[in-house]
Structure 1
Amino acid sequence: MGMTTAAPHVMVLPFPAQGHVTPLMELSHRLVDRGFQVTFVVTEPIHALVFGALRPPAAAGGSALPDGIRLVSVPDGLADGDDRRSLSRFLDCLSRSVPGYVEQLIRETKVKWLVGDVNMGMCFEAARRLGVRVAAVFPASAACLGTLFKVPQLIEDGVFDEKGYPKRHDSLEIAPGMPPVFPSQMPWSIDGAVEGQEVGYQLVSGNTQAARVHAETIVCNSFLDAEAAAFELFPGILPVGPLSADAALLKPVGQLLPEDTGCLRWLDAQPDGSVVYVAFGSFAIFNPRQFEELALGLELTGRPFLWVVRPDFRTAGDGGASKAWFEEFQARVAGTGMVVSWCPQQKVLAHRAVACFVSHCGWNSTMEGVRNGVRFLCWPYFVDQFPNRSYICDIWRTGVAVSPGEDGVVTKEEVSSKVGQVVGDEGIAARARRLKDAACRCAGEGGSSHENLNRLADLLRE
């Protein structure tokens, strides 16, 4: 940068969860590449986790984040002892607390633009009041956001009541080539309790409305070929993906758990296209029975596997026994299987040794898999993961899904046979390669996502 002009300064505001911090951090890197300075706003618990994960004690020295990105924290409105896993309570506190702090930060930083997660739409009005312009980012699929835009219409059509409760339980199609809508799998259905769902619905619809009213542009981490039908139906949503850290995958993407990089050395020792990579994102939880079936299913495949088991991945069942059982399992598979608590997923999926990705199908994981031409075994857990499974299995046909038995449990035999099916299917492999090529075209110089990023940058310079 010449000395003549200061770098334009924008504020980036993700919803405080891993699946949101990552794509907004990736977008921030793309803005820094284009000469911007970014103030990246996260809540205090997230701030502590990001910094904890960025600076393992061993790697002392050096700045954690690249020049141009400054991490700033605000309180999330919860007390220290509060359970951040109760989503409706978390959302409620967040929406009461965060807008005031963001307003204060905007006054102090004097930014002209807020680049905000649609899921933080509750802050958009405050920004506009202060004369700050808003660009919205949706971290999931265009189909998912388009479906949210359609909700008022769906209420009119009798699919939901005015509080967001499903009145129909069959799936419905918005457009050919778009994943069907499952009325009982909406973003506000996560919290089982009635009042939780109502709070969730109010917040989700309020945020979506705020994005429509206050944002001058809405971008999402997707690309034209992945969601042709959705982009045709909702031309106001612009694809800028698939986003990544950078070509060499060196820039930090705001991980909330320390990564185990030993798995990359382990992968280096495996043959091409041999490893089953298993990871369920930052939220999914398995009960002890399901956990055990998955473990035994991986062993049954007879293939090398890399399995990410977060510290909180299992519900407390018969605590002691299952812990002992799992240690015995790990000892038994030590030659073939590797279990880690968190890994640099983008680097793993880019590795030549990976054969397939057993995934919960969160959108970031889906895009990372697609970008690397990886085949999927889909095991969705909640909300948008079900339409993402439809994309993978029915629309792109780059994977298959597990089928739970009568009791809701996916058996070890099912795990093993489906892994075999995915790895053995040449058609799936070819389609995954084609989709990867399309993703690279869109994200590359002159591609539609690349052009949309340039347009966004031009707008943010105004």
Structure 2
Amino acid sequence: MVIYVHQEYIININYLSRFQYIQVVHQSFSSLHTDMGIPHFLAIPYPILGHMNPLLQFCEVLGKYNCKITFLSSDENYKKLIKSSASGGQESHVKLVSLPDGVDPEDDRKDQSKVILTTTNTMRAKLPKLIEDINAVDSGNNNISCIIVTKNMGWALELAHQLGIKGALFWPASATSLASFNSIQALIDAGFLDSETGLPIKTREIQLSSNLPLMEAAAMPWYCVDNAFFFLHMKQEMQKVNLGEWWLCNTTLDLEAGAFSTSPKLLPVGPLMAISDRNISSLWEEDKTCLEWLDQQQPQSVIYVSFGSMVSTKPNQFKELALALDLLNRPFIWVVRKDNGYEVGNAYPDEFKGKQGKIVSWAPQKKILSHPATACFISHCGWNSTIEGVYNGVPFLCWPFCSDQLMNKTYICDVWKVGLGFDMDQNGLISKGEIKNKVEQLLEDEQIKGRSCKLMEMLIKNKAEGDKNLNKFVNWAKE
């Protein structure tokens, strides 16, 4: 059974020629300095890497539009950002400030329910005074005019609303995942979801609107380890983020066309990585020696493996992946993170040789994916990684773990058709043989390679639309 959640919101697009389009964008950008004042944005990300990095990148882009940006982080992350900005080369457009997030040093920051609750309770009480102090620096001449938050920080939009400050959401995942969260109440009202747990009452496929793909119930992004807490939190969170006038997404209209029919608030401002490479480098130290190693490899020969900043494989699955990389007998870069100074709790199998590859604790991912030696990307399908892979025309081997990653896999494999998924065995493992076979199948599939190149070209062409929408957003903030 298919459920249609949203009626269509009709988007009018002015189809200008490419030359006219660029002219219009250029003229609008040129007028930013003269027609209105300078907007002052206060950016507040949820304190994890997958939210901070994309919002920092967006802030650097806003800085090039003659905007003033203050970036609020937790005290812990502030120290890392200061260190990173000092070694980042060019001067950043972003001013860094911090507040405590209430998470004790001995607490596990992977416990997302605890981090959400403590961050909300601690930062909310201190934010009004911080805003007052920031505004006082310029004697009221350039007060904060708009607060931008990521997911889990909707309380700051509530506060902005109370203070009479404009608010916007910067969504660090896909527009489709945002549309799905915004559909929670409709799905409950339709009798599809349990209102307390978010679990499906009946097993069926979901279609959030008539021009979005069919998805299994298990692909909805609220399914994670602490399902009940996260589902109820996101029910409340969506009420708060609806106070934001714009929902900004690092995506394009062509990439997720159906999602933009679900709400007039959604505004595609991507691909951001095509517009600016921010001057504050990664919070985690990147092992750049892998780039020198990559320069020595043959074109389209290297398998890149990374599961992002949050998820980890279990020991038996880690072993299968290691042995599969040996079996493939191809060059590889494998990111095996260090968390809190310790190796992630996985031991390499005794028989693992790894002679063909390069293992690093953190990698300059954009540079790896744009390198001509990179052949494919074994990915957890987080949205930042998905956009970076698509933008560089790299085919995917999809290994999603939870949240929006399952939805992104649906797009990669079934909608865009630029990747393959892995199948688990009867023990719930992705075996070394399955990994080897799927990688070889992907690397021999010229159709997938061709579609990957075409999708890359489309995303690059979409840059003009992203520029236009950024202008629209900046001009709105100036009003």
1:441 is matched by which residue type in structure 2? K
- Tell me the secondary structure at the aligned position of residue 255 of structure 2: helix
Structural mapping, 1:46-195, within 5 Å: 46-52=77-83, 54=84, 66-110=91-135, 111-166=144-199, 167-176=201-210, 178-184=212-218, 186-192=220-226
CA positional deviation for 1:44: 2.0
Between 40-49 and 421-430, report the one with greater CA deviation.
40-49
Shift of 1:281: 0.2
SS at match of 1:224: coil
- Tell me the residue number matched to 2:433: 413
2:41 corresponds in structure 1 to 10
Matches within 5 A, 1:42-441: 42-52=73-83, 54=84, 66-110=91-135, 111-166=144-199, 167-176=201-210, 178-184=212-218, 186-192=220-226, 197-212=227-242, 214-244=243-273, 249=277, 251-253=279-281, 255-312=282-339, 316=345, 322=347, 325=349, 329=352, 332-334=353-355, 336-441=356-461
Contact 1:92 1:199 in 2 (8 A): no
Alignment coverage as a number of residue pairs: 437
Corresponding residue to 2:467 among 422, 432, 450: 450
Q: Alpha carbons of 1:435 and 1:3: their partners in 2 closer, same or farther (altered >3 Å)?
A: closer
1:178 is displaced (CA, Å) by: 2.7
The Cα of 1:182 is off from its aligned counterpart by: 4.4
Matched, 1:459 2:476: yes
TM-score between both structures, scaled by the size of structure 1: 0.88
Alignment partners' CA distance in 2, 1:225 and 1:448: 10
Once the two structures are TM-superposed, the CA of residue 51 in structure 1 deviates from its matched residue by 4.1
Secondary structure of 2:256's counterpart equals: helix
Residue 81 of structure 1 deviates from its aligned partner by 1.1
Q: d(CA) in 2 for partners of 1:182 and 1:45? A: 39
Deviations 1:21-57 (A, max 9, x none): 11111110110010112111111222234345x27xx
Structure 1 residues not aligned, in runs of 5+: 56-60
Secondary structure of the equivalent of 2:58? helix
Rounded Cα–Cα distance in structure 2 between residues aligned with 1:87 and 1:188: 13
For residues 411 and 51 of structure 1, do their structure 2 counterparts lie closer, same or farther at Cα, with a shift above 3 Å needed?
farther
Distance 1:64-1:46 versus aligned 2 partners, 3 A rule: farther
8 A contact 2:92–2:280 mirrored in 1: no
User: In 1, distance between residues paired with 2:90 and 2:166?
Assistant: 26
Cα drift, residue 389 of structure 1 = 0.2
The question of whether the paired residues in 1 share the 8 Å contact of 2:317 and 2:430 is answered with yes
In 2, Cα distance between the equivalents of 1:456 and 1:379? 35
Three-state SS of the structure 2 residue aligned to 1:377 is strand
C-alpha contact (below 8 Å) 1:159/1:183 kept by paired residues: no
Q: Is the 8 A contact 1:148 1:208 kept in 2?
A: yes
Cα deviations across residues 217-242 of structure 1 (Å, max 9, x unaligned)? 11111111111111233342111012
Distance 1:218 1:235, change over 3 A: same
SS of the equivalent of 1:338 reads strand
Where structure 2 has 5 or more consecutive residues not aligned to the other structure, the ranges are 1-31, 136-143
The aligned residue for residue 18 of structure 2 is none
Cα shift at 1:397: 0.2
Do the aligned partners of residues 383 and 46 (structure 1) sit closer, same or farther apart at CA in structure 2, a change above 3 Å counting? Answer: same
1:187 positional shift? 4.4
- The change in CA–CA distance for 1:34 and 1:43 in structure 2 (over 3 A counts) is same
Q: Is the 8 A contact 2:39 2:146 kept in 1?
A: no
| TM-score, structure 2 normalization | 0.85
Q: Would you say the 8 A contact 2:220–2:407 is kept in 1?
A: no
Aligned to 1:58: none
**Distance between the aligned counterparts of 1:183 and 1:89, measured in 2?**
27
Distance 1:169 1:66, change over 3 A: farther
CA RMSD of aligned residues (A): 2.4
SS of 1:189's partner is: coil
Residue 298 of structure 1 and its aligned partner are, at CA, apart by 1.2
* CA distance 1:63–1:449, shift in 2 (3 Å): closer
Letter in 2 for 1:211: V
Correspondence for 1:38: 69
| Matched-pair contact (CA < 8 Å) for 2:250–2:271 | yes
